[in-house]
Amino acid sequence: MNRFILALRLLLRDGRSGELTILVLALIIAVTSSTAISLFADRLHRTMSTQAADFLAADLVITSPALIPEYWLSKAKNVLLDQARTAEFSTVLIENDELLLAGVKAVSSKYPLRGYLKTIKTDYSKETIRHHGPTQGEAWVDKRVLSALELKIGDDLVVGEKTLKISQLITYEPDKRGDLYSFSPRVMINEADLQATQVLQPGSHVHYFFQFSGSAQALSQFNHWIKPQLNASQRLMDIREDRPELGNALNRAERYLGLSSIVVILIAGVAIAMSTRRYSERHFDATAILRCLGCKQSEILWLYIYQFIVLGVVASVLGILFGWFAQETLFHLLKDLLPAKVASPGFMAVMLGFFTGLAILFGFALPPLFRLKKVSPLRVLRRELDPTPPSAWLVYSLALSLIALLIWRYTQDFAMTGTIIGGGLIITLLAGTLIYLFLYQSRKILPYMRLSWRFGLQGLLRNPRASVSQILAFSLTLLAMILSYTVRTDLLDDWQKQLPENAPNHFVLNVMPQQVNPFKQQLVQQKISNPRFYPVVRGRLVKINDIAVQQIVSKDSQGERAIHRDLSLTWAEELPKDNKTVAGRWDVTEKGQVSIEQKLAKSLQVGLGDKLTFTLGSQSVDATVSHIRTVQWDTMKPNFYMVFTPGTLSGYATTYLTSFHLAEENKHFLNSLVKKYPSITILEVDMILKQFKTILTQLTAAINYLLYFALLAGFTVLFAAVYSTLDNRIFEGTLMRTLGANRSLLKKAHLIEFSLLGLISGFIAVLMSEAMIFALYTYVLHLQYQLNGMLWLGVPLISTFCITLAGYWGVRGVVNKPPMQVFREF
Amino acid sequence: MSQTHKNIIETKNLGKTVPTTDGPLCILSSVDLLIKPGESIAVVGASGSGKSTLLGLLAGLDTPTQGFIKLNGVDLTTVGEDGRAELRNQFVGFVFQSFQLLSGLTALENVMLPLELRGDKNAKVSATQLLERVGLSHRLTHTPMKLSGGEQQRVALARAFVTEPAILFADEPTGNLDSKTGDYIIDLLFQLNQEKKTTLVLVTHDNALATRCQRTIKLEAGRQA
């Protein structure tokens, strides 16, 4: 206890003398950053998950082609889950001698359990948010229903045998899905009117969605209970599977959040390591006196550890407060972009920020502290006796273990963590060697340089090991900032490319072969250029290597769902550009070959050379798997699980599929298409696309703010880190002044030294970042890697400017204060 | 204070050799000493004669490469660094040429420090009294930077005597001071030494100062002359 109180006193005295300022600042930055990001990421994740639930209009949904047993619903009620139900089916509407295939959705009174609907009364009225569907006797419809059937708001609409009044136009439907019922123009009615329509008869094609919401515990309990009871035609929906375009965006955004956390923590770690090093060097004398006065080595270490614990707790508490305000500010700034209801901050996220702060402190601060333990008491007589530096093993293994732990936390992948750490280590070692060689070689040109240049360069050469570690520390900080910036820019670019302004927002199915050419012409007249038509043959996979598929695939798998419905099969000379080959070769000259999507192949346990048998109507066709590929589901372009080589499917009933972009104001064009080609089905995905774009805009804004935060932390740390290396420079500069060096010479020498430090750090950082980004893009984010010329120019310039500014500002005292005063301050 | 032995310091064949790039270098050899409690000893010699090395060894700040040192009966070569630290804490006080005060601490806090390390609850009172004794009652809250060299050395004297050590090691205590201030500090050192009945080992190159001690040990090129 005595030692603890003594440690507290020493800490207070140190604090009063300003010895702790840089260290405390670095620690506060670390904890503020980790808390802010941890809180922000957690809240954003939960908000997005809630919003993801909005896209299902519930937390949990069971889809079924028939009603589910009553006792399932009773069980849900028993565990206190709220319930709603929708039934979706297609029906033909006839009004004013016009026909329209509409997707009818009958909703119960509690629909939607999550999210909301948006409606308008007229074209020019403001959207109204609604937390319920139409009441009995009402119908809410898509705008195109009115134009196609020549109706207006307030008119009657007959659905089957029931006459309903059109009261609202639907502009947003949370759980609009990519199936036929959702993409046909919507007519939403109340469930109470469903029976009166008499559309649903035994054997009718209908999809029921049983929706549930409630506490996480109740949902989990119900989920576990219901899962084993589902039959082959029923399944639980999952946002990441059922809305792959959103799932993918969310996954990438989450990975970016993870990356940002690692980046900021790494930056803070570098700052703490550097400032603790300075702290320990400035405490050599004091420690020697303490040793002289009888302090044992272990007591010395504990004295400092106690101080650091107290320091860590105080700085962490402050950091948590700042972090809290930072993320609140972030959410405040984003309030127009984020959903109206944002998840509240989680206690665990705060604790995580706190413990991350302490972990960074000790991971990066312990090695320099261990050095204090080794201070010899003889230093009181011989000041030049410095303790031996801690072993490289200790310094790096502690920090590396910590970083590895953090990376593993975000990737949950041992192999990837190992690759990142191993790769990072090799790059750092290579960079260190490169810097050392550069410094070693530059000794040779020293004699030929002017005095100021010689003094400047000598500043770096005097202690090459220290210079290498300083340059590496600056480079790592810059590297972290570059990574954050580049990944974010490319991620946003990739999203932008994925969804360009004129991304297809309408799909047309069932175009007959003889209609393809006139249809194409009509599209061209509408200024839709070069529309591509894909042949489609409906077929069902029945056998794999002559064994019935039911015996092969597991229940609830993607493969299991694929074998219970007809698949859209196509053939092509050329595969879509965004499809990537995983295995095999796409040889269009060979008939009877099929290319299969990678995940489905895995689920069906199908590999190259396997024989697949499909039934097409009453006939069957065999094909050999010769190619396996990935498919970009989030591109909003037509995608196929199975692509056959040309000729394999010839002779079977074929229709064509196309997609195109149509602006909102040209929607009436669809009516003329339907009139001319009554057999076609138009899927309107413009609304879903709009929804997706909104999400991406929100994520983009969030990611931008995270980047600014990481950059801010980076620059602050860079300045703090430069400051923590100035003691020797100030001392030696003062010594030079006492020996007669004039101010201008010292100024020049300092400018040269810091510029060189900044320039080399900048180049090394870009070199390291290019290597890291290449690995990250190729193996983790699956983005296209490109060498970035701007980085090679911009980063060395920025780092030279910042490090020179910080360094020059820090040593200005040498030229402005009397030398005696500077010496006394040491 | 624990039991005092007949000889508070005893060395036999004491020596120190350090490795250099040109091979081992002997900086002290064959020093035999017997110092009784309360005695004052001056260690004199030219620069590089091994004075500071001997002081470091006697105080247990360094370890010899030959011979032994007994401090109050305990052979320092048989105890580890922690054992030596404990002995320093119990028996030893120091005064250095460069004062060695902690720059972040006030004069009072510097003097309190060795008492705090012992867990002494009256640290503040004792430290204040001793600072008053050395004439610095008006400087208690000043940090070393705000004190003159003479004042700093007076704080160092107060710190050295506050634990009432059995032995005081002083390494060129006036080396950084002008002669007038130096004389004042030496007077104070000897006064306190007599008051507290401390054994004094004083390293100096000043022969006049050495004559104020009861005995002088002269070193030449690392050997006792």
Q: Are A456 and A748 in contact (CB under 8 A)?
A: yes
Reference A681, options A63, A96, A87, A103; nearest CA is A103
Smallest Cα distance from B177 to chain A, Å = 15
Residue B204's alpha-carbon distances to B45, B170, B174, in angstroms, are 7, 9, 9
ipTM of this predicted complex?
0.77
More confident residue, A348 or B162: B162
The predicted-structure confidence for A490-527, as pLDDT tens digits, reads as follows 777 776 666 677 778 888 888 888 888 898 888 888 88
DSSP A604-646: TT--TT-EEEEEETTEEEEEEEEEEEE--GGG-S---SEEEPT
Residue B111 lies in a domain: yes
Give tens-digit pLDDT for A286-318.
888 888 888 888 888 888 889 888 988 888 889
Q: Using CB atoms, pick whichever of A16, A285, A294 lies closest to residue B88.
A: A294
Report whether pLDDT(A242) > 60.
no
The answer for A530, left when phi > 0, alpha when psi is -120 to 50, beta otherwise, is left
Burial class of residue A189, CB neighbours in 10 A (0-12, 13-18, 19+): buried
CA distance B205 to chain A (A): 15
Chain A, nearest residue to B87 by Cα: A294
Per-residue pLDDT tens over the stretch A650-670? 888 888 888 888 887 787 888
Confidence of residue A463 (pLDDT cuts 50, 70, 90): confident
- Residue B206: which CATH number? 3.40.50.300
Q: Tell me: pLDDT of A344 over 60.
A: yes
Reply yes or no: is the peptide bond before residue A504 cis, omega within 30 of 0: no
- Residue A8 Cα, gap to closest chain B Cα (Å): 12
- What is the token pair recorded at A738? 């006492």
Identify whether B174 is part of a domain: yes
Of the ranges A388-402, A800-814, B124-138, which one carries the lowest mean pLDDT score? Answer: A388-402
Nearest C-alpha of chain A: how many angstroms from B74? Answer: 16
Residue A297: its chain B contacts at CB < 8 A?
81-82, 85
- Give the count of alpha carbons within 13 A of A242, CB side only: 19
pTM (two decimals): 0.64
pLDDT digits (tens, 9 = 90+) for A372-407: 888 888 887 776 667 766 665 666 677 778 778 877
Chain A positions touching chain B (beta carbons under 8 Å): 2, 6, 9, 13-14, 16-17, 19, 285-286, 288-298, 376-378, 380-383, 824-825
Which pLDDT band, with edges at 50, 70 and 90, does A180 fall under? very low
Q: Which residues of B touch A294 (CB under 8 A)?
A: 85-90, 92, 114, 117-118
Q: How far is A487 from chain B (nearest CA, A)?
A: 46
Q: Do A378 and B56 lie within an 8 Å CB cutoff?
A: yes
| Lowest model confidence (mean pLDDT) among A42-56, A120-134, A563-577, B65-79 | A42-56
C-beta atoms of B89 and A383 within 8 A: no
- Going by C-alpha positions, the residue among A388, A463, A471 that lies closest to residue A433 is A471
Look at A378 and B119 and tell me if their CB atoms are within 8 Å.
no
Residue of B nearest to A287 (CA): B102
CB contacts under 8 A, B 127-146 vs A, are 143, 145
Is 60 exceeded by the pLDDT of residue A241? no
Task: Please answer yes or no on whether B113 and A293 come within 8 Å at the CB atom.
Answer: yes
Interval A356-365 mean pLDDT: 80
Per residue in A601-614, pLDDT (tens digit) is 888 888 999 999 99
**Do the Cβ atoms of A289 and B102 come within 8 Å?**
yes
Contact A296 B116 (CB under 8 A): no
Q: Do B56 and A295 touch (CB under 8 A)?
A: no
Residue A788, CA distances (Å) to A485, A489, B169 in order? 12, 12, 66
Q: Is residue B2 part of a domain?
A: no
| Structural tokens at position A279 | 């702290």
Q: Could you read off the pLDDT of A583-599 as tens digits, one per residue?
A: 898 888 888 899 999 88
Angle, helices B123-133 vs B149-161, to 10°: value is 130
pLDDT band, residue A66 (cuts 50/70/90): confident
The verdict on B63 touching A (C-beta cutoff 8 Å) is: no
The per-residue DSSP string of A524-574 comes to: HHTT--S--EEEEEEEEEEEETTEEGGGTSPTTSHHHHHTTS-EEEEE-SS
Q: What is the pLDDT of residue A528?
A: 81
Which residue in the block uniquely carries the two structure tokens 């009966």? B73
Average pLDDT of A363-368? 81
User: pLDDT of B52-95, one tens digit each?
Assistant: 889 889 988 888 999 999 998 899 989 888 888 888 888 888 88
Residue B173 falls inside a structural domain? yes
Q: Using CB atoms, pick whichever of A2, A295, A380 lies closest to residue B119.
A: A2
Answer yes or no: do B145 and A377 touch at CB < 8 A: no
Beta bridge partners of A539: A567
> What residue in B sits closest to A291 (Cα-Cα)?
B85
The tens digit of pLDDT for each residue in A95-145 reads 888 888 888 999 999 999 888 888 988 767 788 889 999 999 999 998 888
DSSP H stretches of helix in A243-296:
244-282, 284-292
pLDDT of the residue at B1: 43
* A31-53 mean pLDDT: 74
Closest approach of chain B CAs to the CA of A13, in angstroms?
Answer: 6
Chain B hits for A821, Cβ within 8 Å: none
Query: Among A480-484, A692-696, A770-774, A804-808, which is the least confidently predicted range?
Result: A692-696
Q: Give the mean pLDDT of chain A.
A: 81
Burial class (CB in 10 A: 0-12, 13-18, 19+), A343: middle
In whole angstroms, give the CA distance from residue A516 to residue B58: 105
**Cβ-Cβ contacts under 8 Å, A302 against chain B:** none
Contact B88 A292 (CB under 8 A): yes
A743, A815 Cβ separation under 8 angstroms: yes
B165 reaches A (C-beta below 8 A): no
Token digits of residue A462: 């005097």
Residue A738: pLDDT above 70? Answer: no
CB B51 within 8 A of CB B43: yes
Interface test with B, best of A293, A295, A376, A824 (most B CBs within 10 A): A293
Q: Which residues of A touch B85 (CB under 8 A)?
A: 291, 294-297, 377
Q: B102 lies in which domain range? A: 9-224
**For the residues of A474-496, what is the DSSP string, one character each?**
HHHHHHHHHHHHHHHHHHHHHHH
> Looking at beta carbons, which residues of chain A come within 8 Å of B143?
17
Does B81 contact chain A (CB < 8 Å)?
yes
Q: Where are the alpha helices (DSSP H) in A176-243?
A: 180-183, 194-197, 216-226, 239-242
**% chain A with pLDDT above 90:** 13
* Residue B218, domain member (yes or no): yes
pLDDT of residue A647: 87
pLDDT 10s digits, A213-229: 888 788 888 988 988 88
Nearest CA in chain B to A296: B82
The two three-digit tokens of residue B82, written as one number: 């922690």
Give which of A474, A529, A328 is closest to A801, Cα–Cα. Answer: A474
User: Which structure tokens are listed for A257?
Assistant: 């959040």
Other Cβ atoms less than 10 A from the Cβ of A462: the count is 12
Distance from CA of B83 to the nearest CA of A (A): 8
More confident residue, A420 or A752: A752
Predicted pLDDT of residue A735: 67
Could you tell me if residue B162 is inside a domain? yes
Domain count, chain B: 1
Query: Can you tell me the distance from the alpha carbon of B60 to that of B79, in angstroms, rounded to the nearest whole number?
Result: 10
Order of strands, edge to edge, in the sheet holding B9-20? B23-35, B9-20, B66-71, B74-75
CB contact under 8 A, B145 and A294: no
Q: Which of B72, B113, B143 to mutate to test the interface with A (most CBs of A within 10 A)?
A: B113
